Chain A
Amino acid sequence: MEKELKKSVIGEPMDRVDGRLKVTGAATYSAEFNIPNLTYAVLVSGTIASGTITAIDTRAAERAPGVLTIITHLNAPQLAGYQASAIAANGKPNYRVFGGDKIFFNGQPVAMVVADTFERATYAASLVKATYQKDEHKTSLEDNLANAISPSRGKDYQRGAIDAYKTAPVQVEQTYMLPTEVHSPMELHNTTAMWDGDKVTVYTKSQGVKATQQSIMNTFKLTDDKVQVNSRFVGGAFGSALRTWPHEIATVMAAKKVGRPVKLLLTREQQFTMVGYRPKTIQKIGLGATADGQLVGITHESYSQSSVFEEFTEGSNNVSRFLYASPNVTTRYKIIPLNVGAPAPMRGPGEATGAYAIESALDELSYKLNIDPIALRLKNYAENDPERNLPYSSKYLKECYSIGAEKIGWSNRSQTPGAVKEGDWLVGYGIGCGVFGAHRGRATAKIRINADGNVNIQCATADIGPGTATSMVLIASDALGMPTDKITFELGNSAFPQAGQQGGSSTVSSVGSAVHDASLALKKKLMELSGKTESDLSPGNYTDIIKQQNLPYLEITQGSQGGDEGSKYSMYSFSAHFCKVHVHSVTGQVKVVKAVAVVDAGTIINHKTAGSQMIGGVVGGIGMALTEEALFDDRYGRYINGNFADYHVPVHADVPDIEAVFIDKPDPVLNPMGTKGIGEISIIGFAPAIANAVYNATGKRVREMPITPDKLI
C-alpha cells in the first residue's frame, strides 16, 4: 500500500552524483588537462606596494633552458578591450595586467614566464629582476581613516531620527574589527588556454563560465562562438572565482603569443594577493534601548579597505536595517583606498561582516539590560521587513531560536559571565543570527530524454562544492517522477544554456527553477505528442511516446525567471547559530565544544549536501572568530603570513561536532521548489556566536578578531 504512494525524492539525503569521481581522483579539475603540446606559465610578483617599474631585466631568464617567452608591460600584446587610457571612467587609475609601468599593490604581477615545463618556468621566473621607483604607499586601514571616501555603491541609509540610540536610556557604543581574511580554497586558482585559429578554449577555476566567457569576449573583442570556457569541477572558491582575474586574461594572452596551449597555476602565496579577500573592516555600532529591552535606535558605521584602482564595498551595514524592528536606524559606509589588491566577495559577503558587529553589540546590550540574549532578540523580532515595509515571504527565525536553544542546552547557560566551570575550563554559551537575501535569477536549462529513457540536462552553472548536479538531479527526478539514476546533469561549460554565477546562495533557486520548468515543459510536450492528459501520463509512458513518434530523443530548452514577487515581499534565509565554548582559565585557549546551526532556508532539496554546506560554513565561522588573520607589515606593504603555515584556517582539531538543523518549510513565493538558499547563512552569524560565548565564559569582550589566547589571559 505504502509503495504506491508517490513519494517525493526532495530532501532525500542523496550521495553526490560525482562523489565517486571526486574521491577516486577521476574528476578532472581545470588544472589537470594534459593537453598535447602544453606549456607552463609562472607569474613574477612585484615586490613594492606603490610606484613605477623603471626596468625589467629578463636577459638571464630568456637564456634559461626551455623558456618560450617572457611577457612584461614592455612587450605585452595590446588587447582590443583594454581601454587605452590610464584613467577609468570613475577617475581611478586603470589596473590592467601588463598594461603599464604603474604598481598599485604588492604582489601585482610584473612578468609572466612561459616555458616547456613548470619547473623551468619557475626557475626562469626567479631570474627576472624588476627595478622600481618607489612611491609612498598606504596599506593600513587604521592609520588612514582620515582618507575615507563615500563609495558610489553602498549608500548611507536613514530611517526615523539620526543616531537615535543616543537618546535611549540604555546604550551600547562599541567598535569591532575584522581583519583581512583570504578565501583559501584548497584548489589554487589556475587557467589553461589554447587557441585554434581565432577560437580560444579555456579551462579555468570559475564560479560562472558564462561570466568568464563574457570577460574574455570583451577583452579580446571576440564573439561568443569564438570563446569556450570550461570549469566542471572546482575545488572550492568561496567567492574568489566570481570575477575574471588578470591572471586569466594573461594566460589567454600568452597562449596566443606562444601559439601553444598555456597553463598557469598560481602559488599559494600569490593566492593572497591576486584573487581577492574579505577586506579588513572597522565597524562602529551604537545601540539604544529602553530599560525593558525595546530597541530605540541602531547606528551602524563601516570602514573597509579597498584598492586604489577600484571601489569595493561590503554590504556590512545592510543587516542592521531589517534584522530587528527598530524605529530608528542610521547606517554610514566609507571605504579607504589603499595599496592593496582588490577585495572580492567572500562567503556571506557583507552580511557575515555586519552580523559579526551587530550580533556582538546586541549581546553586549543583553548584559547591560540583564536580559537573556534570545529574549532580547524576540522582544525586537521583526515580523515584517522594517526597511522596506513589506512582509517576509517566509520567516521561521523564532523556531530557529527555540530549536537551537534546546539543542545546545541553553538552559545550562548562566547570565553571569564566568560562572560555569568544567575543570580548568570556563564554559560559555553564545548565539548569533544570520540572514541573507534569497534570490532567483534568470536561468535556462536544456533537457533531453532519449529513447532508452535516460534524461540529460545541461546548464552553464557551476559547482564549487555544494553538490549542484546532485540537487538538480533530485529536482528533475521529482518533477518528472523518474528515478534519480536515470538522470544526469551537466554544468561548467559555456556552450550550455545560460545561468548566472554560483554566488549569493542563488543557484538552487535559479537553476533549480529552470530544471523544474524544463522538466514540466518536457512532460507537456510528451502530453502533446501522445494526446495524454496530466493524469494518464506516467513516467512509464515516456519512452513509448518517443518510440511511437519515431524520435531518437526529445529535447527542450526552457528559460525560467521570477516575476514581481520581489516588489511584494522581502525574501531572506535566516539562521540561528549556537555554540558552547571552553576557554582555558590559565592559558586562554578557546575550544568550540559544540555547534548547532538552525536554518530557515525553505525547502531542503538534499539533506546530505545541505548539511555539508552548513558544516563548511560553520568551520568558516570558526576561522573568522578564532584563527584567520592576514597580516600586513605596513612599512613594506607586504603580508608577513601569506602562506598556509602561518595563515591559520581551522584544522580538524578546531572543529567540534556540528549539528545542522533545517526548518525545511517551503517558501511559498520565491520559486516553485520553495527553496531559499544556504551557502551564505551557514557562516553568517557564527563568528559572533563564538565571540559571545567567549564573553559568557570569561567576562572578556574581544572586539578584534581573531580571538587568540593572548587576548584572553
Chain B
Amino acid sequence: MNQFEYIRATEQAAAVKALVKDANTQFIAGGTNLIDLMKMGVAKPDKLVDITRLPLKDIKKTPTGIHIGALALNSQVAENSLILQHHPVLALALNSGATQQLRNMATVGGNMLQRTRCGYFFDVNMPCNKREPGSGCGAIGGINRMHAIFGASESCIAVHPSDMCVALAALDATVTVLGPKGERRMPFADFHRLPGDHPEHDNTLQKGELILGVDIPDARQTKNVAYLKVRDRTSYAFALVSVAAVLNIEGGIIKNAKLAMGGVAHKPWRLHAAEASLIGKQATIDNFKQAAQIAMQGAKTYKYNEFKVKLGHNTIVQALKTAASVA
C-alpha cells in the first residue's frame, strides 16, 4: 500500500473541490472495496477524502417515490421498512451480497462504484486493460468462468459484480450526482457503461463527481418480485448469474415486467426484449421460457463461461416462477 494523505469532508461542495484539485485523489466511503484495491496495489491514491460524515444517509419518501442517500449503508437499506414495503426486491438483492459485516460498512454509492472482481484486474502482475490500459486482457485467453456474455469488447470481458445495482436497474432508478458544475441526474441504466475501447472507465461519472443518492419511482405492485442469485457457495460469493424480476400481475395476466441480470455484463443487464415478450401474457412456465430464450439471444461466450447461457436462461425462468408464485 502506498502512503497517502487522508482528509474528512464535512461539506459536499468542499469534497467535490478536493477531488478536482488534486489529480490522484479519491473518495472513500465504507472502504470495503477501495482499501482492498489499495492493499493489492491496484488503486494508488495520494489522497483520500472520507465522505462518510456527509449528510447523505437518508432513506425517505418523496412525492414521486423513495430517495436513498449515497451514504446509506447496504444493511440499513436492506432493513428499511420503506424499502421492504415498496421495493422488497432491492432488499433481497442487497441481502444476497457479501456478508453482514461487509453490508454494515458498505454504502450505496460505494456499491455502485465497486470495481470488477476479475482476478487479473486484482493481480498487478497480470495483464489487464482495465487496470493498465494497453497491457492486454488476461481473461480473454485465460480463466474466464466468471466473465461477461453480453456487451463485452475485445479489450475487456469483465462483469460488474454488484447485486444491488441489478435491482436498481430493474426498478428504473435515477442517480443524482454533484460535480464542479452542479448537480445532474441520469437514469440508472446510463450510469454504468460497457467496456468498449476504454475498460478503465466503469461508469459515466466525471472527474470530481460525488454521488448524492438514488431515487426509485413508485411501483404499482410489490408482491410479485424475486431476486435469484446462483453462486458457487450459498453465501459470500459473487453471482455466476443473478436475476431481478419485478412483475405486475393482474388476473393472471402480466401487465408489466421488469427484468435485469447480474454477472453477465460490464453493467447491470436490463432485459427489455424479454420484458416486452411477457406483457399481456399469462404467467406460465412456457411464457417464462420464451422470455428467457429471448433474453439470452446474442450471448457471446468464452472458453470457461459457456454454461452461463443455459444457467442464465434457467435462472430467469426460476426467478419468474418465484416472482409469479408459479410452481
Chain A residues engaging chain B, CB cutoff 8 angstroms: 47, 119, 122-123, 126, 423-424, 584, 586-589, 591, 626-627, 631, 633, 635-636, 638, 640-641, 643, 645-646, 648, 650-654, 706, 708-710, 713
Is A588's CB under 8 angstroms from B142's CB?
A: no
Task: Tell me if A631 and B143 are in contact (CB < 8 A).
Answer: yes
Instruction: Please report the C-alpha to C-alpha distance between residue A710 and residue B315 in the assembled complex, in whole angstroms.
Output: 12
Q: Is the CB of A708 within 8 A of B232?
A: yes
Contact: B143 with A633, CB < 8 Å? yes
Closest CB in chain A relative to B116 CB, distance in Å: 12
List chain B positions with a Cβ less than 8 A from chain A: 1-3, 41, 117, 119-120, 122-123, 125-126, 138, 141-143, 145, 228, 230-237, 240, 307-308, 310-311, 314-315, 317-318, 327
Contact, CB under 8 Å: A640 / B143 = yes
CA distance A591 to B318 in the complex (A): 17
A626 touches B119 (CB 8 A): no
Q: Is the CB of B233 within 8 A of A627?
A: yes
How far apart sit A646 and B117, CA to CA, in the bound complex (Å)? Answer: 9
The interface residues of chain B lying within 8 Å CB-to-CB of A646 are 117, 119
- Which residues of A sit under 8 angstroms from B314, Cβ to Cβ? 586-588, 713
A650 and B234 alpha carbons, distance in the complex (Å):
8
Contact status B318-A586, CB under 8 Å: yes
A633 engages B126 (CB within 8 Å): yes
Interchain CA distance A119-B1 in the complex, whole Å: 8
How many Å lie between the Cα of A586 and that of B288 in the bound state? 13
Q: Do B233 and A587 have beta carbons less than 8 Å apart?
A: no
A589 touching B235 by the CB < 8 A rule? Answer: no
Closest 4 A/B residue pairs (Cβ): A640-B119, A653-B234, A710-B307, A653-B235
CA–CA, A635 and B125, complex, Å: 12
Smallest Cβ distance from B89 to chain A, in angstroms? 18
CA separation between A631 and B138, bound complex, in Å?
14
B236 to chain A, nearest CB (A): 5
Chain A residues whose C-beta falls within 8 Å of the C-beta of B237 in the assembled complex: 648
Known contacts A633-B126, A640-B142; is-contact A586 B317 (Cβ 8 Å): yes
25 contacts between A and B (CB under 8 A): A122-B1, A424-B318, A586-B314, A586-B315, A586-B317, A587-B315, A589-B230, A626-B233, A633-B120, A633-B138, A633-B142, A633-B143, A635-B142, A636-B138, A640-B120, A640-B126, A641-B119, A645-B117, A648-B232, A651-B233, A653-B233, A654-B233, A708-B240, A710-B240, A713-B307
- Could you list 13 further interchain pairs (A-B, Cβ under 8 angstroms) beyond the known A424-B318, A588-B230? A584-B318, A587-B228, A591-B234, A627-B233, A635-B141, A635-B142, A638-B123, A638-B126, A640-B143, A650-B233, A651-B234, A710-B308, A713-B310
Task: For residue B100, give the distance in angstroms from its CB to the closest CB of chain A.
Answer: 11
Minimum CB distance partner of A631 in chain B: B143
Are B142 and A709 in contact, CB atoms less than 8 angstroms apart? Answer: no
Chain A residues closer than 8 Å to B142, beta-carbon distance: 633, 635, 640
Q: Which residue of A lies closest to B228 (CB)?
A: A587
Whether A648 pairs with B1 at a CB distance below 8 angstroms is no
Using Cβ atoms and an 8 Å threshold, which residues of chain B touch A424?
318, 327
* Contact indicator B240/A709 (Cβ below 8 Å): yes
In the bound complex, residues from chain A placing their C-beta under 8 Å from that of B234 are: 589, 591, 651, 653-654
CA of A626 to CA of B237, assembled, Å: 13
Q: How far is the CB of A134 from chain B (nearest CB, A)?
A: 12
How many Å lie between the Cα of A126 and that of B43 in the bound state?
Answer: 13
Are A636 and B232 in contact, CB atoms less than 8 angstroms apart? no
Q: How far is the CA of A650 from the CA of B233 in the complex (A)?
A: 7
> Which residues on B sit within 8 Å (CB–CB) of A654?
233-235
Q: Are A587 and B126 neighbours in the complex by a CB distance under 8 Å?
A: no
Whether B311 contacts A123 by the Cβ 8 Å rule is no
Write out the residue numbers on chain A whose beta carbons fall within 8 Å of the beta carbon of B125. 47, 636, 638
A382 to B232, CA, bound (A): 38
* Contacting pair A713 B311 (CB below 8 A): yes
A636 to B125, CA, bound (A): 9
Residue contact A709 to B143, C-beta cutoff 8 Å: no
Question: Which residues of A have CB within 8 Å of B236?
Answer: 651, 653
**CB <8 Å contact, B230 and A587:** yes
CB of B128 to closest CB in A, whole Å: 11
Residues of A within 8 A of B307 (CB): 710, 713
Instruction: For the complex formed, measure the closest distance between the CB of A663 and the CB atoms of chain B, giving whole angstroms.
Output: 32
Separation in Å of the B46 CB from the closest CB of chain A? 14
A589 to B233, CA, bound (A): 9
Complex Cα distance A626/B228, Å? 20
Alpha-carbon distance A626/B310, docked complex (angstroms):
20
Interface centre among A123, A626, A652, A713 (most CB of B within 10 A): A713
A587 to B263, CA, bound (A): 15
Bound-state Cα–Cα, A638 to B142, Å: 11
Closest chain B residue to A47, Cβ basis: B125
Pick from B141, B143, B318: contact of A587, CB below 8 A: B318
B315 and A648 contacting across the interface, CB-CB below 8 Å: no
Bound: A579/B3 CA distance, A: 51
Given contacts A47-B125, A588-B311, A635-B141, contact A709 B233 (CB under 8 A): no
CB distance from B198 to the nearest CB of A (A): 24
- Rounded to whole angstroms, the CA-CA distance of A710 and B306 in the bound complex is 9
Give chain A residues whose Cβ lies under 8 Å from the Cβ of B231. 709
Which residue of chain B lies nearest to A632 when distances are taken between CB atoms in the complex?
B143
- CB neighbours (8 Å) of A713 from chain B are 307, 310-311, 314
CB distance from A649 to the nearest CB of B (A): 8
